[in-house]
Every structure is written in C-alpha cells, then in structure tokens.
C-alpha cells in the first residue's frame, strides 16, 4: 500500500485552481512545506492530513487508494467542453464532447501501472499532454478520444490484445470500479432488471457516450448505440473492437455481483453492438 | 500532541483488551511512542476499522473496536444499542445513496458499524442513522433524499415485512392500513390520520415517547429527516399500487413534528410481496 498524500494534495489544489500560497494558508502549513509535501520530499503530518480532508470534505482513506470518487460540489455527469478545469489544462483534442469520466479510464490506468509501472504510466499520460494528477479525481470529465489514444498506445506496446481485455477490469477489482452501482442494485431472478438499472446509472456516473435499449420479446438483448456527439469523432478499428470487448467485460464483471451465471455475448451492429444474455 | 491520543488508544487496546500490537501497526514502520504521520495514521485506522480523525482525536469506542478485531463483526457501539427502533436497512440505504462520493466506508468507519451488520435487517438506534446523515450533510440533494426513501420503502415492502404489510395493505382503506403497520418500520414516531369527505388525507406525526427516552429532541429538527419520511410514505403508497401521479401531496409542514396532506385519486395494481413476516424489534 502506497502513500498517495502528495498526489491527492496536488490534485485538489489544481482542481480548485488555487496557488500554493493560498492553499498553504487554507491547511495551515508554510508554503515551502507544502511545496516539499507536493514533491514528496516531506511527509504530511497526521494533523495536516485530517485538516485538509475536513476542508475539502473528502474521505481521509483516499490517501491509501490514491483516488477521490466525487467532490461535494460535483454534479452528475453532463456533456462537457472545457480546455481548463481549475488549473488543469486539457489539450484541445480531448476537451470537446467530454461525455466520459476518469472513472471509465481508471481500470486502464491501473492496468498500465501494473504492466509498465507507475513512472512509465505517468510518462505515457504526459506524452498525451495530460497531467497525471487529473486522474486522481474520478469524476473529472474526459472525452472518448483520450481513451482511444491511451488504449492505442497500450495496443502499440503490445499490452492490450483481443484476448486480454477482460483482464483489464480484473487488474482492479470490478467491485471497486462499480462500487456505487453495485450498492444500488439488488439481486434479482430477472437479470434484465439489474442490467437495466445499471444502464440507467451509467449516464449519471460513468459516461453518456452510448445509449442502452432493451429489445426483443424476452428483453434478452441490450442494444448499445453511440449518441450523436460521438459521430464527430473518428476511431481506429482496433479501438472499436477493444471498446466492444471492454463494454462486455463490464457487464460480465457486474454479473458476478448479481448471481447471474448466464451467458453474455456481443454482436456488432451498424451503430454499435448488441449484448445478448441468456440464463 | 495528537500522536499522544493515538498512542493512548493503542496502549489501551493492547493492555485493556489484549489486542496484538503487531496487528494494530501492521503495514507501518512506526516505533512505539514516536510521531505518527498521515500515511501511518491511515494505515493504523484501516487496521482498526475506524476513521482517521477519530483515531487522531482518540474519540472512538475502544470496546467495539476490540470486539471487531476479535472477529465479532456485528458489534456496534453501545450508544446505538439503546432504543433500537430504527434499522440497519435504513442505515444501509442511506450510506449506499452516498457511496458515489466515496463516503460509504468513511461513514461506516466513523460511526463504527461494520458493513456486514447491514447484510440483514437488524434493529438499530435511530441515532446511528442520524449520525450518518450528519456526516453526509454537505452532499445531500433532494434527489438523494427521494432515492433513499424509495429504496427504504421498497426494502420495507419486499424484504422486511412483506407478509405483514400485504395482509394489511390489501384492505380497502390502504392508507389507514399502512399506518397501522408503520410501527414495524420504526417506533420513533406516532401517527394520526385525518380524512375528510373530499378524499383528502392528512398524516400528522410526532415523536414517540419511546424515542424521546433515547434520543435528544433537537436532532429531529433537521428538515432532511422530515423530507425523508414524507417521501417514504409517498413511495410506499406508490409501491402499494397508487400510481405516481395519483397521489398528490398538497401540503407539508416541517418542524419538530410533521404533517403531510395528500389526496388519493385512484389505486393501481396490488403489490405482491416477496418476503416474510419480518423480525421483531428488541
């Protein structure tokens, strides 16, 4: 278990666009001390950490996990266009039609850290011109183009192959990725009810890039089609295949918490893909 | 100075409750009596299954912590064992509603209730629910209160008291029947229904004497509590077959007690429960 206090401190300060001077006054430390804390030259004291968490209303155990789920002033996800969030600068190509969140990218980043290490993952994010600290706050907006580029980088390094997509979600725990959704679902003999609730929660919490429809007589088919704003983006064939597999892996990851032991399959369609399930 | 509080708690756990110090300090490199930094604080708090601030300030229930570390996950602080007229179901639905903010574990660690305590419907003091509500107060929206109340109404009907409620609510006068079983949900409130010839119902509720014996009156001045209870009735009726638009809440009054007036227009399909007669309150 690592100490993520410097990452969290930097990320919060940047999210709110606060200078080190103002931030140090907020949490009652000297500016020089804060600078050293942020660069991991100095450890945060227990009192400083609790004071910081009280101030920003975050769970103190974020220090152990390196992520903040949502901040108190966060709203539910909406389609965003922003070249700046606080003092985070977002490259232009990733700053439009932001219908996704860091939460969606979290398993990918954890997978990369596991495969190539923390430092090289940071280098990769910097190569894409994004600040690694941006990925601490899970509710930060992202567009699908960033995920496309990040995945393509992993594909080009041979880390993602068609057979290991499901492994990516396992590199974190599915329960961690879906914790909120799992809390809202109840086990049911009718998996469509749980899957339906899942797809209703997705747009509020993860992403609004796709639309999910339940079709067919027995409602055993979930038709996934991209929303209009995605049409403005162009993706590689490899990424589209990855996305289909990754989406399926999410449903499979979720199934285990619903006692659903049936089969899940995807079939490509013109506008997206169908997920078929049978008990 | 704050490390003093931490060490004092650790020493008490070690000496008074015979807890292995290696278990408490697992994953840290602290020397006994030394200053404790943020990371070590959180590691120790995690080992003790409490929150960091309580450990820092030394204000947590040591006895409960010792029981939890001894394997008794269902142990709760003594203060929540008095006047157990609310339930773990209510607490579960509240913390689940705020888990998207990452607050679930924080709240449970803070009030020292293990998640496994909520797996089944168990009696619990309303003070636990209220303490949890206080901890998430900066995150609350009306939508959250509605979702919480809806989940509570659903659980009440499908899991906790299905058969009892079905017997009562299958009667024609469902509002009266519903209130006659309200004490199965909790005994913190007394209810009175007034109906008039034009089909309006007014539900007046006030704190029960049993609740006043165990909970300070001031905590129920919180309008969130009253909003949650009003929505609970609203969704309860909806689940009993009144379609959403068929129940009109025409007025609400919130102070320490509450009053809700509504009109029932039509009744839809009957509710089919899935579960049992439910446990008894202690």
Query: What pLDDT score does A192 carry?
Result: 75
The distance of A163 to chain B (nearest Cα, Å) reads: 31
| B159, B92 Cβ separation under 8 angstroms | no
In a domain, B125, yes or no: yes
Is B56 near chain A, with CB under 8 Å? yes
Is B108 near chain A, with CB under 8 Å? no
Same domain, B176 and B251: yes
The distance of B279 to chain A (nearest Cα, Å) reads: 20
Query: What pLDDT score does B257 carry?
Result: 58
Query: What pLDDT score does B26 carry?
Result: 94
In a domain, B7, yes or no: yes
The distance of A73 to chain B (nearest Cα, Å) reads: 8
Confidence label for B231 from pLDDT (cuts 50, 70 and 90):
confident
Query: What pLDDT score does B273 carry?
Result: 43
Among A44, A57, A72, select the one facing B38 at the smallest CB separation. A44
In a domain, B282, yes or no: no
In a domain, B20, yes or no: yes
* B106·A50 Cβ contact <8 A: no
Is B42 near chain A, with CB under 8 Å? yes
Task: Indicate if the pLDDT at residue B264 is higher than 60.
Answer: no
Same domain, B153 and B207: yes
Same domain, B165 and B231: yes
Same domain, B155 and B226: yes
Among A5, A46, A70, select the one facing B36 at the smallest CB separation. A46
- Write down the pTM of the prediction: 0.87
Query: What is the sign of the dihedral through the CA atoms of B195, B201, B203 and B204?
Result: negative
Domain ranges (residues) in chain A: 5-65, 84-171, 174-278
Query: What pLDDT score does B271 carry?
Result: 45
Cα nearest neighbour of B140 on chain A: A72
The distance of B273 to chain A (nearest Cα, Å) reads: 14
| B144, B100 Cβ separation under 8 angstroms | no
Same domain, B147 and B252: yes
Transcribe chain B into DSSP letters.
-HHHHHHHHHHHHHHHH---HHHHTTT--PPTTS--BHHHHHHHHHHHTS-HHHHHHT-S-HHHHHHHHTT-TT---GGGSSS--EEHHHHHHHHHHTGGGT-HHHHHHHHT--GGGGSS--EE-HHHHHHHHHHTGGG--HHHHHHHHHHHHHHIIIIISHHHHHHHHTSS-HHHHHHHTHHHH-SSEEEEEEE-TTSEEEEEEEE-HHHHHHS-GGGGG-HHHHHHHHHHHHHHHHHTT--GGGEEEEEEEESSSEEEEEEE----SPP---S-S-PPP-
Query: What pLDDT score does B277 carry?
Result: 42
Query: What pLDDT score does A119 carry?
Result: 94
Instruction: Tell me the residue range of the domain where B119 lies.
Output: 78-139
In a domain, B272, yes or no: no
Q: Quote the number of domains for chain B.
A: 3
Q: What is the average pLDDT across B226-252? A: 66
The residue that leads in pLDDT, A110 or B266, is: A110
Those of residues 136-155 in B touching chain A at CB distance below 8 A are 138-139, 151
Same domain, B111 and B200: no
Task: Indicate if the pLDDT at residue B239 is higher than 60.
Answer: yes
Confidence label for B65 from pLDDT (cuts 50, 70 and 90):
very high
B97-120 residue pLDDT tens: 888 888 899 999 999 999 999 988
The distance of B266 to chain A (nearest Cα, Å) reads: 27
Among A3, A61, A63, select the one facing B106 at the smallest CB separation. A61
Share of chain B above pLDDT 70, in %: 68
The distance of A66 to chain B (nearest Cα, Å) reads: 12
* A64·B104 Cβ contact <8 A: no
Residue at a domain's end among B49, B69, B89 = B69
Q: Report ipTM for this prediction.
A: 0.90
pLDDT tens, residue order, chain A (279 aa): 889 999 999 999 999 999 999 999 988 889 999 999 999 999 999 999 999 999 999 999 999 999 999 998 887 778 888 899 999 999 999 999 999 999 989 999 999 999 999 999 999 999 999 999 999 999 999 999 999 999 999 999 999 987 788 888 887 777 777 888 888 876 666 777 778 888 888 888 888 999 999 886 666 788 999 999 998 899 999 999 999 888 888 888 888 777 777 888 888 888 888 888 876
* A61·B100 Cβ contact <8 A: no
What is the third-level CATH fold of A5-65?
A: 434 Repressor (Amino-terminal Domain) (1.10.260)
In a domain, B168, yes or no: yes
Nearest to A277 by CA among A197, A186, A214: A214
In a domain, B276, yes or no: no
Task: Indicate if the pLDDT at residue B28 is higher than 90.
Answer: yes
* Mean pLDDT for chain B overall: 78
Cα nearest neighbour of B143 on chain A: A76
Residues from chain B that touch A60, judged by Cβ atoms under 8 A, are 42, 45, 51-53, 106
The residue that leads in pLDDT, B170 or A143, is: A143
Is B3 near chain A, with CB under 8 Å? yes
Same domain, B186 and B130: no
In a domain, B191, yes or no: yes
Query: What pLDDT score does A227 carry?
Result: 92
Query: What pLDDT score does A169 carry?
Result: 83
* B45·A60 Cβ contact <8 A: yes
Q: Which of B102, B106, B118, B143 to mutate to test the interface with A (most CBs of A within 10 A)?
A: B102
Same domain, B156 and B257: yes
Query: What pLDDT score does B275 carry?
Result: 41
The residue that leads in pLDDT, B210 or B174, is: B210
């Amino acid at each position: 278990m690592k100490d993520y206090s410097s990452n969290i401190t930097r990320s919060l300060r940047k999210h709110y666009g606060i200078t080190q001077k103002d931030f140090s006054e907020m949490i009652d430390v000297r500016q020089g001390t804060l600078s050293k804390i942020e660069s991991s030259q100095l450890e945060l004291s227990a009192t400083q950490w609790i004071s910081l968490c009280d101030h920003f209303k975050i769970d103190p155990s974020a220090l152990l996990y390196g992520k903040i789920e949502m901040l108190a002033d966060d709203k539910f996800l909406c389609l965003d266009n922003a070249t700046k969030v606080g003092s985070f600068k977002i490259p232009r190509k990733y700053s439009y039609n932001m219908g996704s969140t860091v939460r969606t990218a979290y398993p990918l980043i954890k997978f990369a850290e596991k495969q190539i290490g923390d430092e090289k993952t940071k280098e990769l994010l910097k190569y894409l011109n994004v600040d690694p600290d941006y990925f601490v706050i899970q509710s930060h907006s992202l567009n699908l183009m960033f995920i496309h580029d990040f995945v393509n980088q992993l594909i080009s390094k041979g880390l993602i192959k068609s057979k290991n997509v499901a492994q990516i979600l396992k590199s974190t725990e599915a329960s961690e990725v879906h914790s909120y959704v799992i809390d809202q679902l109840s086990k049911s003999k009718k998996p469509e009810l749980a899957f339906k609730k899942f797809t209703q929660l997705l747009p509020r919490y993860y992403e609004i890039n796709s639309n999910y429809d339940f079709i067919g007589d027995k409602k055993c088919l979930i038709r996934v089609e991209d929303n209009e704003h995605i049409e403005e983006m162009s993706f590689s064939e490899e990424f589209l295949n990855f996305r289909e597999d990754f989406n399926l892996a999410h449903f499979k990851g979720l199934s285990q918490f619903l006692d659903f032991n049936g089969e899940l399959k995807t079939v490509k369609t013109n506008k997206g893909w169908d997920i078929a399930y049978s008990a | 100075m704050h490390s003093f509080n931490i060490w004092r708690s650790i020493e008490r756990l070690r000496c008074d409750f015979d807890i292995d110090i290696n278990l408490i300090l697992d994953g840290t490199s602290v020397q006994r009596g030394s200053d404790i930094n943020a990371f070590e604080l959180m590691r120790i708090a995690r080992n003790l299954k409490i929150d960091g601030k309580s450990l820092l300030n030394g204000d947590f229930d040591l006895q409960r912590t010792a029981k939890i570390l001894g394997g008794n996950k269902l142990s709760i602080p003594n203060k929540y064992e008095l006047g157990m007229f609310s339930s773990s179901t209510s607490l579960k639905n509240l913390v689940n509603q705020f888990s998207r903010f990452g607050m679930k574990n924080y709240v449970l660690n803070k009030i020292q209730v293990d998640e496994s305590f909520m797996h089944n419907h168990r009696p619990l003091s309303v003070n636990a629910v209220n303490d949890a509500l206080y901890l998430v107060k900066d995150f609350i929206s009306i939508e959250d209160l509605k979702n919480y109340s809806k989940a509570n109404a659903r659980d009440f009907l499908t899991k906790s008291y299905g058969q009892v409620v079905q017997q009562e609510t299958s009667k024609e006068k469902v509002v009266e029947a519903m209130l006659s079983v309200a004490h199965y949900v909790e005994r913190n409130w007394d209810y009175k229904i007034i109906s008039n010839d034009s089909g309006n119902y007014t539900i007046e509720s006030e704190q029960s004497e049993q609740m006043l014996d165990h909970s300070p009156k001031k905590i129920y001045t919180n309008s969130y509590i009253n909003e949650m209870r009003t929505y609970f009735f609203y969704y309860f009726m909806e689940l009993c077959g009144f379609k959403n638009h068929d129940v009109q809440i025409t007025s609400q009054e919130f102070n320490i007690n509450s009053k809700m007036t509504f009109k029932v227009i039509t009744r839809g399909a009957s509710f089919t429960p899935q579960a049992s007669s439910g446990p008894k309150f202690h």
